[in-house]
Amino acid sequence: MSCDIKTQKGIYIHIPFCISKCIYCDFCSAPADDDTKERYVNALCAEIVHAGKEAVKNGDDRSISTIFFGGGTPSILPAQLFVKIMGAVREAFFVSEDAEITVECNPGTLTAGKLRAYRSMGVNRLSIGLQSPDNRELRALGRIHTYEQFEESYYAARDAGFDNINIDIMSAIPYQTVTGYQSNLEKIVKLNPEHISAYSLIVEEGTPLFDMVERSGGDILPTEDEDRQMYALTKKILADAGYRRYEISNYARPGFECRHNASYWERTDYIGFGVAAASLIKKSESCQQSRRFTNTSDLESYIKNPIDNHSEEELLTQKDEMEEFMFLGLRMMAGISTESFKEVFGRDFYEVYGDIAAKQMKQGLIKREGDRIRLTDMGIDVSNTVMAEYML
């Protein structure tokens, strides 16, 4: 990277492997044999250690406050490979004592040995991709686990000492009913996880699910009205159970908000390691323009050359950054700070966005509270439309 990393806060590590690719997934992921996994981890460690050496050479701050293993299915890796990656991270960077370290897991891939390895290497947060506690809905999504396997993984994690667990739940699944989704929510709430991520299924073009939906004429999916009812149930049931909504799709017990994901929405610096991983290095004294780097998405190309593998390198203009400040910040229930806007960009918020903000306030889509502007409940319901208006 050509700019010093002076304010680095987070690391994302991409593990692109899974047992089988889900029919709705358009992420950079695929099944792989043991040899490919080992070669990939060796390349990943080389990239991480090289970044640390570059930071030392440049006199950069190497302190890290969050680490997130995403995928794919990071928990598919054998324990010894995970330990190797964390060893490289700790060799290259200073991981703070209170760092949030998250591993995404899929039910059926967690063992007692892996959980012990995670704990020994400082992992203190798990994110388990359940999606639905209904086995029929899991089959409709092409998921290979059952709810019973999820429960086994969840309780094994509790027994291993994990006290910060996220569960992913999905609505608008093929053949799903409103009453069925309500039952799903109630079942998950009874497990008492610290964090719940609730998403409506997005049918991405190019996936097997897209073809299935096209062939059915859309009949296999819940209607728009049913989708809205599911969304309303999510808000009510989770709020009644004591979960605070802090981002459009994320709910947490107080104090258990995901710090790593918040860093994306708040646009702090992060480095991505691994195939297809992205990095953001913000403007500073030594870096005159913010930069975003994305690693190659070609697995073999990455393994052969993990050091110099950027497929994309983007210089962000002030316009780009102001737009990102708005559409990422408005995802948070706390909204954006107009004072921070002026501090970051040297421009008054209302000079840039005053007309748009005034119109949306009149429409009841956003509200002003002190120096902060945030979405109203109505604005959250049409958040994509609201945010699109901040594209200059």
Arithmetic mean of pLDDT over the chain: 91
Tens-digit pLDDT profile for residues 208-267: 777 776 777 767 788 999 999 999 999 999 999 999 999 999 999 999 999 999 999 999
> Among residues 150, 125, 109, which one has the least CA distance to residue 17?
109
Confidence of residue 289 (pLDDT cuts 50, 70, 90): confident
CB 13 within 8 A of CB 47: no
What are residue 199's DSSP bridge partners? 170
The residue-averaged pLDDT of 39-62 equals 94
Q: What is the pLDDT of residue 7?
A: 47
Answer yes or no: CATH 3.60.150.10 is held by domain 10-263: no
Domain boundaries, the chain: 10-263, 318-392
Whether domain 318-392 has CATH 3.40.1710.10: the reply is: no
For residue 236, give the 3-state DSSP assignment: helix
Residue 188's Cβ-side half-sphere holds a number of Cα atoms within 13 Å equal to 32
Q: Supply the DSSP string of 57-118, one letter for each residue.
A: HHT---EEEEEEEEES-GGGS-HHHHHHHHHHHHHHSEEEEEEEEEEEE-TTS--HHHHHHH
**pLDDT tens, position by position, 55-77:** 999 888 899 999 999 988 999 99
Structure-block tokens of residue 233: 């149930």
pLDDT bracket for residue 31 (50, 70, 90) = low
For 309-362, how does the pLDDT look when each residue is reduced to its tens digit (9 = 90+)? 887 789 999 999 999 999 999 999 999 999 999 999 999 999 999 999 999 999
Give the total residue count for the chain. Answer: 392
